Structure 1
Amino acid sequence: MANPWTGEVALTIDGERRALKLTLGALAELEDRLGADSLLALVERFEGGRFSARDVIAVLVAGLRGGGHGAMDLAAAEIAGGPMEAARVAGQLIVRAFSLPEVE
């Protein structure tokens, strides 16, 4: 189960539910991989809806590494919920990396 207080977001990949998380190291790798000048530029890209499928995959791969999972070939993986769920989880990972979750 993912713990939102630690920045984790759950995603089911190839039938296995995994907790993803953007650690500082994962964020640095992501910044470099996506060619973002800063973390703010990365956040703005997602907030403005200017992200690509490649961006979503990069965020998810970074989240897998930050969550303690090995890198996966997500282009060939079955993601429960499809591309929309992948994009939602990528956005949620970025949000949780920079904020506290809302208490219900």
Structure 2
Amino acid sequence: MVNRRRGEIVANLGGKDRCLCLTLGALAKLESAFAVGDLGALGERFSSGRLSARDLLTIIHAGLEGGGHTFTLDDVAEMQAEGGLAGYAAIVSELLAATFGPAEEN
């Protein structure tokens, strides 16, 4: 079971449900990967709506690492998502909303 308060989501990748979470360490890796100086710039980068396939891969990989998985980037690149490209984009959108969006009410 995932904990949305911690920014966790569940996504089906490679035919299995997996927990993804952008932990502080995962966010630091993304700052480096996207060459931005802070979380605000990272959020702006993501909110531009212009993400490449490589961007989606990098974000999903960071989310899987934050969720406790030890996949390599190449492993993640080989995983299938239901719905193809739209499925990958939906996973990233949900993960970013869970991380940067407002806290859910009980």
TM-score normalised according to structure 1 size: 0.85
Task: Name the CA distance, whole Å, in 2 between partners of 1:81 and 1:3.
Answer: 24
Corresponding residue of 2:12:
12
Letter in 2 for 1:88: A
For the residue of structure 2 that corresponds to 1:74, the secondary structure is helix
In the other structure, the counterpart of 2:69 is 69
Aligned residues: 104
Which 4+ stretches in 1 moved above 6 angstroms?
none
How far the C-alpha of 1:2 sits from its partner, in A, is 2.5
AA in 2 matched with 1:26:
A
How many Å apart are 1:8 and its aligned residue?
0.7
Paired position in structure 2 for 1:39: 39
* Bigger proportion of residues as helix: 2
Structure 1 contact 34–58 (Cα < 8 Å) conserved: no
Post-superposition shift, 1:89? 1.6
Partner secondary structure for residue 62 of structure 1? helix
Q: Which runs of 5+ in 2 are unaligned?
A: none
Describe the superposition over 1:4-57 as per-residue Cα deviations: whole angstroms up to 9, x where unpaired: 122111111111100100000000011101222322222122212121111111
Equivalent-residue separation in structure 1 for 2:94 and 2:36 (angstroms): 18
Letter in 2 for 1:38: D
Q: TM-score, normalised by structure 2?
A: 0.84
Which residue of structure 2 lines up, in the alignment, with residue 95 of structure 1?
A: 97
1:72-87 aligned within 5 A: 72=72, 73-87=75-89
Whether the 8 Å CA contact 1:20–1:93 is kept in 2: the answer is yes
